[in-house]
Amino acid sequence: MPRERIGRGGAENAEGSVNLRTILCVLCASAVLTLTPACGYRALYAGAPERVHVKLVRTLVPDAIASDEVASGVREELARQGALEAGDGYPRVEIEVLRADEASEGISAGANGPLARGTDVAIVARAWLRRAPGAPPEGDSGDLRAEEAITTDVTEGALDPRASGFHHADALRAAARRLGKKLAHKVMGEPAASEDTLEGL
């Protein structure tokens, strides 16, 4: 009888050791998953937001207001995240506005020949973080694009260039502000999709 009790105790101790090892393995695995960023990718502002400045360093777009709207979109999104620092200085998000695109959408008959029923207006830019003068860029967004579609303004069967000009400018600036928000997300290490729908982009 004593031997039988000792045998049972040994079995219970062995089972307890196995359970303890299993629990420790699970805890270790959880810690590794928690501390290791997925695919080596981490948000720039994980934890307490780092406050950064915003600087438009280059633009190749004739519409200066549209370029400013890109920067305004970046500032707006950073402010929403509590990560915007006013004024100039470092660290800062640097923005490069690369180009503006447009393409016709559909064809209709006009008094003086075929007319586009609408126009896709788009703007392309990129951004990155620079922590100090001369420091290498971090978190480069790559080229991102945003677009707006506008209807062609027609008066008595003919294109109304004045109204079309106003709507074109408004659409480009709306796309630029939305693009700025996308750039902020990318620089912060968050997902943001480029609207690459034009042929050849």
3-state secondary structure of 57: strand
The alpha carbon dihedral of 49, 52, 56, 58 has a sign of negative
Q: Are 149 and 186 in contact (CB under 8 A)?
A: no
- Tens of pLDDT along 75-100? 999 999 999 999 999 999 999 999 99
Is it the case that residue 61 has pLDDT exceeding 70?
Answer: yes
Q: Any idea what DSSP says for residue 61?
A: -
Q: Which residue has the higher pLDDT, 183 or 198?
A: 183
- Interval 67-77: pLDDT, tens: 999 999 999 99
End-to-end CA distance of the chain: 83
Report the 10 Å Cβ neighbour count for 136. Answer: 10
3-state secondary structure of 153: coil
Least confident of 25-29, 44-48, 111-115, 159-163: 44-48
Tell if the pTM clears 0.75, that is, is over it. Answer: no
Quick check: 120 and 102 in contact, CB under 8 A? yes
Nearest to 155 by CA among 116, 103, 108, 111: 111
| Beta sheet of 53-59, edge-to-edge order | 53-59, 92-110, 113-130, 144-151
What kind of architecture, by CATH, is found in domain 49-187?
2-Layer Sandwich (3.30)
Closest among 192, 170, 171 to 120, alpha carbons compared:
171
Q: Are 179 and 123 in contact (CB under 8 A)?
A: yes
When pLDDT is averaged across residues 36-47 and rounded to a whole number, the result is 43
Cα 143 off chain centre by: 11
